[in-house]
Amino acid sequence: MANSGIQLLGFSLSLIGVVGLIVGTILPQWKMSAYVGDNIITAVAMYQGLWMSCAFQSTGQMQCKVYDSILQLDNALQATRALMIVGIIVSVAGLGVACTGMKCTNCGGDDKVRKSRIAMTGGIVLLVGALCAIVACSWFAHNVIRAFYNPFTPVNSKFEFGAAIFIAWAGSFLDLLGGAMLAASCPRSKQVSKYPPKGSARSPSSTKEYV
């Protein structure tokens, strides 16, 4: 029963993590304009994401523009896009495999050992997807930090972390934790000895009655 509870908790955490990855990938607030220096302009806030850039005005209006061409983007942004998409696809596939092997489902037959191994495989797939997302978020954050502390970067072109990257980070770590729980939920097969221990009673089939 405890093993089934660990599987259900791991699946739930991974599901929440995948939702966080999808939401974080779609949102444009991966990095936002940093107000540093003497000339601070707070009327317009600039946001940049994986798919579009947005300008948020103090009046409450937001204007977004989708990136026109993939070839105009830098290699780091393209790699972050690819890793996030691969992480989401792999994680969704891992959820499907784990759902088939969980004890609380009827899929995959009645063999408990086989179902546990399927759930463990789904957990490993979830771990791979979570690692892809963690690498993507960390790489993007490293580029933001390096550009922020670069002395040749103009003051009005410096950015800091936005809310979307934190959502994607949280989703990837929840996905990683859930996948680890599913991967560790496979029980060890117990070996049954062919010979009874010393001092044990004989089986009824081995006793003979004499009349």
pLDDT the model gives residue 193: 45
Calpha distance 14→124 (Å, rounded): 12
- Res 186: pLDDT: 61
50: Cβ contacts below 8 Å, ≥ 6 apart: 25, 30, 77, 80, 81, 84
What class does CATH assign to 2-26+70-187? mainly alpha
Strand ranges across the sheet with 62-66: 62-66, 52-57, 44-48, 31-33, 159-161
Per-residue pLDDT at 55? 87
10-residue averages of pLDDT along the chain (211 residues): 76 95 94 70 78 83 84 85 95 91 68 81 94 94 90 80 94 95 71 50 46 41
How far apart are the C-alpha atoms of 40 and 47, rounded to whole Å? 16
- Structural domain boundaries of the chain? 2-26+70-187
| Residue 137, phi then psi, degrees to nearest 5 | -65, -40
Q: What is the DSSP string of 60-124?
A: S-EEEEE-S-STTS-HHHHHHHHHHHHHHHHHHHHHHHHHHH-TTS-TT-S-HHHHHHHHHHHHH
The pTM for the full model equals 0.80
Q: How many residues does the chain have?
A: 211
At 58 the pLDDT is 73
pLDDT computed for residue 192 by the predictor: 46
